[in-house]
Amino acid sequence: MAGEKSLPEINKRIKKGKVVVLTAEEVIPVVQELGLKKAAAEVDVVTTGTFGAMCSSAAYFNFGHTKPRMKMTEVWLNGVNAYAGIAAVDALIGATEVMKNDPLNSIHPGEFRYGGGHVIHDLVAKKPIHLRATAHGTDCYPRREIDTVITIDDLNQAVLFNPRNAYQNYNVAVNLSDKTVYTYLGVLKPQLGNANYSTSGQLSPLLKDPYLRTIGIGSRIFLGGGIGYVAWQGTQHCPSITALPNGGSLIEGGTLAVIGDLKQMQPEWLMGASILGYGVSLAVGLGVPIPVLNEEILYWASRTDEEIYAPVIDYGLAYPAGNPEPLAYVTYAQLKSGTIKVDGKEVPTGPMSSYPAAKKIATMLKQWIEQGSFLLTEPVAPLPSIGEAAPLNPLAETESQTDGKGELIWLPNA
Amino acid sequence: MAPERIVLRFNATTSDKPVIYHLVKKYNLIINILKARINPHKEGMMVLELHGEPEQYAHGLEYLRSMGVTIQPLSEQVQHNETICNHCGACINVCPSGALYLERPDMKVKFDNEKCLVCLMCVKACPYKAMEVYF
Ligand code: SF4
Ligand code: SF4
């Protein structure tokens, strides 16, 4: 294709201080004015951003060896269980883990005031964290208990590793039932009382490179206010594009697994989230730079809220039952306007992920690139593109074989 | 009866008595605990929202006083902590009065104190605890 640029060329321009970077919002009027061809020649990088609660986030640590030595088998950080079945003094804390003795939903809707997401935030904020661990004791690791206080600076390694972030697109949640429901997409009032959505639309990373032409394993990104990398495809990664009955297309299903050194991240961009009636999560700030290698990449990167659709799903009955048939498709422009129409009814909309924060991330990333402190990386391997990922299967349940006393019988060759 | 909001203060001898249980059991009051705290000296503070028959309500308060609990009416306010708020928008549709609203096209969340009914819905619904209650 004419006017192709290479990534090393773009990096050269970054080093020379001559790079042209625009956020995914800023690039829209430029493409509208100059046309794709001219704009692709002028613009080198488009930056994206998203900030919202992203379950499937976690952090792992190495605490350093104790004296005498200890092989920690159960670990709690500020009373939140961390998974210690990795090694003697390594542990992983998941964003959605709740506190020991949390009342959960026993008084519905539960408040879930503190959990794994909050521990990760408090660590990054350099707050002291209570570490408690127990062990069974071995000849080489005799110690059985520890109760101490640590900060992130005391840890040998602290790594943010999120198995699924940056969902390409998300459902718009409504409630057709007769009672209020408390979901991971917020409080949904009965009978189409409101509609909640949760991506940054025209700023959202994977909506701006839907075929994953530039984003791959090893891509350097903005993660939690610091630098991170794409580690793998995210869990449930299955990008698709579907033509919609009334025109337009629905792009959805891509996800990223990301990794980065927690010690250089910022508390503002890793916020513990308490989602009423649902649980705990971690709001992650994530931004991906898209190198404008050709017109086609810029075509997707400059798509607008008017062109990006999301499915409207009933979270009152259909979604919990596992039958999420879309009630309608709406654009992000409609969602941001404040109301959408579902079944002939005007429904007020509300976001769950912050557009102002997404914009700030895209702008910060832009500045890092302009200042020359952030170079783009060529993926070391591509991620499965649209049509290339295996379809997602629901969990198939088989009847378990028991011995009549409730004990499972394992059939060696079954 | 419209829900009443009150602040209870317990001394060290009553703070471990099941008074709330009795309020529910004996006086048939519907109780929403908005806030509860106990200090190292075992003195407690609790903010309750009570619902019930007016007569039962009066008897319930009498019972509390008889247990040595002091009762005050609640005069509270809600504040929007702008250093914590990230403008996610999760509070917009739970706010019944429009006190919390989105400013377009910026999509920033604003709080209009004048319109606030102190219903505390946003305090529960804000995932980041940016809506704070002041007494
Ligand atoms: S829910 Fe909380 S953080 Fe989100 S906009 Fe409202 S006050 Fe701000
Ligand atoms: S207390 Fe109620 S009325 Fe006031 S801002 Fe919060 S939700 Fe709105």
Domain segments of chain A as ranges: 64-155, 162-260+295-382
Q: Which chain A residues contact residue B92 at CB under 8 A?
A: 350-351
Question: Is the CB of B99 within 6 Å of ligand 2?
Answer: yes
Q: Which atom of ligand 2 is nearest to the CA of B97?
A: 3
Cis peptide before B96 (omega within 30 of 0): no
Nearest CA in chain B to A339: B93
Specify the pLDDT at position B104.
94
pLDDT for position B51:
86
The mean pLDDT value for A206-218 works out to 98
Q: Tokens representing A263? A: 């010690």
Q: Which residues contact A7 (CB under 8 A, 6 or more apart)?
A: A291, A293, A376, A377, A378
pLDDT digits (tens, 9 = 90+) for A148-176: 999 999 999 999 999 999 999 999 999 99
Give the contacts of A161 (CB within 8 A, at least 6 positions apart): A58, A59, A60, A92, A231, A257, A258, A259
Distance of residue A194 Cα from the nearest chain B Cα, in angstroms: 7
- Which tokens sit at A170? 């998300």
Task: Quickly tell me which residue has 């007016």 as its tokens.
Answer: B54
- Taking the complete model, does pTM exceed 0.90, yes or no? no
**Per-residue pLDDT band at B32 (split at 50, 70, 90):** confident
In this predicted structure, the answer to whether residue A414 has a pLDDT above a threshold of 60 is no
Instruction: Give the pLDDT score at A145.
Output: 98
State percent of chain B over pLDDT 70: 98
CA distance A175 to B91: 17
pLDDT reading at A18 higher than 80: yes
Which pLDDT score, from 0 to 100, does residue A411 have?
Answer: 66
Q: Does ligand 1 lie within 6 Å of residue B46's CB atom?
A: no
The answer to whether A202 faces chain B, any CB pair under 8 Å, is no
Instruction: Find the DSSP H helices in A107-266.
Output: 116-124
Q: Is B97 in the pocket of ligand 2 (CB under 6 A)?
A: yes
pLDDT of B34 strictly over 80: no
Find the mean pLDDT for residues A403-408. Answer: 73
Section A275-283 average pLDDT: 97
Q: Is the CB of B78 under 6 A from ligand 2?
A: yes
Residue A362 has pLDDT above 60, yes or no: yes
Q: What is the pLDDT of residue A2?
A: 53
Q: Is the CB of B109 under 6 A from ligand 1?
A: yes
DSSP B60-114: HHHHHHHTT-EEEE---EEEE-TTT-----TTTTT-SSSSEEEETTTTEEEE-GG
pLDDT recorded at residue A413: 60
User: Cα–Cα distances in Å, from B17 out to B22, B42, B69?
Assistant: 10, 12, 11
* Minimum-distance CB partner of A352 among B88, B107, B108: B88
Whether A46 has a pLDDT exceeding 90, the answer reads yes
Give me the residue from B89, B105, B128 closest to A273, CB to CB.
B128
CATH number of B77-134: 3.30.70.20
CA separation (Å) from A271 to A146, A307, B32?
28, 30, 28
Is residue B7 pLDDT above 90, yes or no? no
Mutation test of the interface with chain B: which of A187, A270, A305, choosing the one with the most B Cβ atoms within 10 A? A187
pLDDT greater than 60 at residue A215: yes
> From the alpha carbon of B87, which atom of ligand 1 is closest?
5
C-beta of residue B102 within 8 angstroms of C-beta of residue B92: yes
Contact (Cβ atoms closer than 8 angstroms) between residue A208 and residue A46: yes
Please tell me if residue A306 touches chain B, with a CB cutoff of 8 Å: no
Residue appearing with tokens 């912050």: A354
Cα A143 from Cα A138, distance rounded (Å): 8
Nearest-angstrom CA–CA distance, A346 and A323: 24
Domain B4-73: which CATH number of 2.60.40.2470, 3.30.2390.10, 3.40.50.300, 3.30.70.260: 3.30.70.260
Interface confidence (ipTM) of the complex: 0.92
Compute the C-alpha angle A355/A357/A358, nearest 5°.
60
Higher pLDDT, B115 or B31: B31
Q: Which ligand is nearest to the CA of B116?
A: 2
pLDDT band at A184 (very low <50, low <70, confident <90, very high): very high
**Helix (H) or strand (E) segment spanning residue A351:** strand A345-351
Which of A189, A274, A353 lies nearest to residue B88, judging by beta carbons? A353
pLDDT at B15 over 80: no
Q: Contact B87/A196, CB-based, under 8 Å?
A: no
> Which residue CA neighbors atom 1 of ligand 1 most closely?
B126
Residue A3 pLDDT? 67
Q: Identify all chain B residues contacting A350, using CB atoms and an 8 Å cutoff.
A: 89-90, 92-93, 102
Residue of the CA atom closest to atom 6 of ligand 2: B122
Please report, for chain B, the start and end positions of each structural domain, with discontinuous segments joined by +. Answer: 4-73, 77-134
Atom of ligand 2 nearest to the CA of B94: 7
The two three-digit tokens of residue A280, written as one number? 């705990």
Contact A115, A279 (CB under 8 A): yes
Cβ <8 Å between A271 and B104: no
CB within 8 Å: A356 and B106: yes
Closest ligand to Cα B118: 2
**Can you give the C-alpha Rg of chain A in angstroms?**
23
The residue whose CA has the least distance to atom 8 of ligand 1 is B85
pLDDT of residue B3: 75
Considering only CB atoms, A350 lies closest to which of B89, B106, B127, namely B89
Chain A contact for B21, CB < 8 A?
no
| A99-121 tens-digit pLDDT | 989 999 999 999 999 999 999 99
pLDDT at position A324 over 90: no
Q: Assign residue A178 a region (left: φ > 0; alpha: ψ between -120 and 50; beta: otherwise).
A: alpha
